[in-house]
Amino acid sequence: MTQNFNEPQKQYLQGFFAGVNQRGGAPFVGQTSNGQLTNTPDESTTGNQAEETVHGVLIEDLCKEEKIKYDHHGLDIWDTMLDNAAKNKFPEGGDVFRYKFNGLFYVTPAQESMMLRCRIPGCVLRSHQFDGLADIAEDWGGGYSHVTTRGNLQVREIMPKDSVDVLVKLRELGLTSQGSGADNVRNITASPTSGFDPDEVIDVLPLAKAMHHYILNNRDLYDLPRKFNIAFDNGGSVSVCADTNDIAFYAVEVGEGQSVDPGVYFRVQLCGITGHKQFAKDCGLLLKPDECVAVAGAMLRSFLKNGDRTNRKKARLKYLVDKWGVEKYLEETAKELAFELRYFPLENCEPRRPIRRHGYIGVHPQKEKGLNFVGVVVPVGHLSVEQMRGVSRLSEKYGRGEIRLTVWQNLIIPHVADDQLKALKAELHELGLNTEHHNITNGLVACTGNAGCKFAATGTKAQAIQVGDYLKEKIELDQPINIHLTGCHHSCAQHYIGDIGLMGTKVKVGDESVEGYNIVLGGGVDNEQGIAAEILNGVPFSEVPFTLEHILKTYLDERQSDESFIN
Ligand code: SF4
């Protein structure tokens, strides 16, 4: 079945797809940059095609993706999307990349369909939004969704004919997928317990949402050299893995007797990119809460103007900062701001409060007496539409209609009264979801794998479940661990930060090529930071569960007292 659009419908839909205004967007308070029209040559161009440049780079020197962006901006393809939807046609050529600007990924040959990646700012959904996403998954997708490692939601198996309906429905839910793929700022994450965490320094949800809307309303930011991650950590007990982001804002307190007023501030860490084995590092800045979004905007613009446009492998922020040094990067950032950056020694801030591993699974008291948040295990992030609707209903019945997604691919239902906990847990159990703590299975993280990603060497999600089930039977651990399975070196499941990390690869067994993994050990984040080191290469999957059992048993037998898995 195909779909045709008349002119009024097209105009209506243009409003959805061309939502960001054509020129730079409104300047932000405290910021001088007024953006730049993207995908046009620099103003200094001579008119001679051969000498035209984009951000100082000759057109002919741009890498493939930059040329695609230069030819036609990814946010301006709504007419192509409408035509393709009408013909039930998948995008071709450069449009495959441009569709990602709109959150649609054509994932052939893994699946002959498209994947929708939403944006869930701060990883918070209202129940009607979760219901609406279940409708999208049921009506136009494969009948399920995946919680991602950015506390986001993906729906798979969408056909081109339905893609416009999907995007419109998403907007009507108050959500968008704009910029969730390609060279854009990805879903803005926040500590999943923000606002009700008794241990938090400050509720960072308003900042995460402000950052989200700032990006959506500044078209010039849809022209980065490469993807970009931003996270807000509330300083509380539950991790958002902020130090794996390009920019990580960490809430801290500064006490009396310092050179700044006592109170709540943010430290800024830069250049987390764990697939390249690097955590974000403190850059010396101390920001007031209302300075964070402007500084992030300035940092993005500094990156946008100076990042590498010729080599994709060197285009992430890390490589610009490696080339320049942090000092120069901050000097360039300061030029984009109308206020001065404040430097302050990290050691003069109060230390970060402890983080509890798997600390949100199960029942935990909130700030407000008599209320609790309930962490729900979602094995490898997979939710059926029945489970989505069920969680939505239960969040209404027992909470306040709010659902939090976590970067560990699980979810939280907050605001549950003490006397409602038993009933909620029973109803979750009926949905096939549990809230019980388990030291192994609660920390299983897996990327999409070959069920839906063309890069994958292995079936990560299904194999993660097998590994978890096996280890659950065979071993009793007395501390929580995280096991991350990633299907290829792109490391979407961040295998280098797992206590145990598995990276998919093909392994030769006799004449046969079978699915297998390289095994790394000893990763961690936040106060347990560690990049896991490879100990085994090319283990066929059939041997992985037993190998991990052996590793864990050896650890239990041989560890010194209190020795953890971390490097
Ligand atoms: Fe695909 Fe590789 Fe990312 Fe897994 S890590 S989702 S296989 S790109």
pLDDT of residue 16: 60
Ligand 1: which residue has its CA nearest to atom 4? Answer: 487
Helix orientation angle between 160-172 and 7-17, rounded to the nearest 10 degrees = 60
453 Cβ inside 6 Å of ligand 1: yes
* Ligand 1: nearest atom to the Cα of 457: 7
The residue-averaged pLDDT of 537-560 equals 93
* Ligand 1: nearest atom to the Cα of 487: 7
Residue 343 pLDDT more than 50?
A: yes
pLDDT of residue 51: 73
What's the CA gap between 169 and 126, in Å, rounded? 15
pLDDT of residue 563: 74
The residue-averaged pLDDT of 480-489 equals 92
pLDDT of residue 381: 95
What does the buried/exposed string (b/e) look like for 486-517 if buried means 16 or more CB atoms within 10 Å of the residue's CB?
bbbeebbbbbbbbbbbbbbbebeeeeeeebbb
Ligand 1: which residue has its CA nearest to atom 3? Answer: 492
pLDDT of residue 34: 36
Tens digits of residue pLDDT in 414-460: 999 999 999 999 999 999 999 988 889 888 999 999 988 999 999 99
491 Cβ inside 6 Å of ligand 1: yes
The residue-averaged pLDDT of 108-115 equals 92
494 Cβ inside 6 Å of ligand 1: no
What's the CA gap between 455 and 491, in Å, rounded? 11
Tens digits of residue pLDDT in 215-252: 999 999 999 999 999 999 999 999 999 999 999 999 99
- Taking alpha carbons only, the member of 281, 156, 219, 167 closest to residue 22 is 219
The residue-averaged pLDDT of 63-89 equals 93
Tens digits of residue pLDDT in 453-467: 999 999 999 999 999
* Ligand 1: nearest atom to the Cα of 488: 2
pLDDT of residue 12: 65
* Ligand 1: nearest atom to the Cα of 448: 6
Provide ipTM, 2 decimals.
Answer: 0.99
Report the C-alpha dihedral over residues 120, 124, 126, 131, rounded to 10 degrees: 50
Instruction: Classify residue 361 by burial, with Cβ atoms within 10 Å: 0-12, 13-18, 19+.
Output: buried
The residue-averaged pLDDT of 498-526 equals 93
Residue 155 pLDDT more than 50?
A: yes
458 Cβ inside 6 Å of ligand 1: no
Tens digits of residue pLDDT in 1-47: 456 666 666 666 666 665 544 433 433 444 444 333 344 445 443 44
- Taking alpha carbons only, the member of 305, 292, 282, 122 closest to residue 209 is 122
Mean pLDDT of the chain: 91
Q: Is the dihedral of CA 393, 395, 396, 397 positive or negative?
A: positive
Residue 566 pLDDT more than 60?
A: no
pLDDT of residue 255: 97
pTM for this structure? 0.91
What's the CA gap between 533 and 196, in Å, rounded? 36
Report the C-alpha dihedral over residues 67, 71, 77, 81, rounded to 10 degrees: -70
Whether residue 225 has a cis bond before it, omega within 30° of 0: no
What's the CA gap between 484 and 543, in Å, rounded? 17
CA 388 to chain centre: 20
pLDDT of residue 48: 53
pLDDT over 70, % of the chain = 91
* Ligand 1 centroid to residue 110 C-alpha, Å: 11
448 Cβ inside 6 Å of ligand 1: yes
Asked if 445 and 409 count as a contact pair (C-beta separation under 8 A), the reply is yes
451 Cβ inside 6 Å of ligand 1: no
128 Cβ inside 6 Å of ligand 1: no
| Ligand 1 mutation pick, 107, 156, 490, max ligand atoms within 8 A of CB | 490
* Ligand 1: nearest atom to the Cα of 491: 5
pLDDT of residue 119: 97
